[in-house]
Amino acid sequence: MLEATIGHFSQVDKSRDLATVLGFDYGARRIGVAVGNRLSGARALEVVGNGAQGPDFTRIDALLREWRPQALLVGLPLTMAGEEQRNSQAARAFAAELTERYGLPGHLVDERLSSHEAAQRFAVRRASGQAKRKHAADLDAVAAEIIIENWFAYTR
């Protein structure tokens, strides 16, 4: 079941603080992926390809086998006024495909400013030596990390 807005763990067991979620920052060419739970927080994992053939479900399958999430989060791109934009429908379709394919609860999460925040975090990591310019493609994964953090904050 895909919730149309930020949701809650109504379909996850009582130990929701330990429940693992995978977050996705959907893009036409790349999809950022992050993992998290309420106790350890969120962390960027990687970026998977997306293109004319669709998302790299072989890699997404592997990530789900590895992390065994109880829910899936997909960032919903909205304008600053809260309205849907060009990529919103594609993100909704991707979220629906994930929930149908994996049979897990899915939640759309308002992702306003997540790309901006990801760029700021990346700049800080570069300045501290934790990241290099060549890791810039990982920004989408950092945006997915922020999507998870925002969802945790909203559903607390």
Express each pLDDT in 58-92 by its tens digit.
999 999 999 999 999 999 998 888 889 889 999 99
Give domain status of residue 12, yes or no.
no
Q: Assess if residue 104 is contained within a domain.
A: yes
Number of structural domains in the chain: 1
Q: What is the dihedral of CA 36, 40, 41, 42, to 10 degrees?
A: -40
Please determine, for residue 6, whether its predicted confidence score (pLDDT) is greater than 50: no
For residue 97, is it within any domain? Answer: yes
How far CA 61 is from CA of 56, 98, 125, in Å, comes to: 9, 10, 29
CATH code of the domain containing 59: 3.30.420.140
Q: Is residue 13 part of a domain?
A: no
Average pLDDT over residues 149-153: 92
Residues in the chain: 156
- Please give the helix or strand (H or E) that residue 155 lies within, else none: helix 139-155
13-22, 53-62, 138-147: range with lowest mean pLDDT: 13-22
Range of the domain at 27: 2-7+19-155
Q: Which two tokens stand for residue 45?
A: 């994992």
Kindly indicate the confidence band of residue 17, based on its pLDDT and cuts at 50, 70 and 90.
low
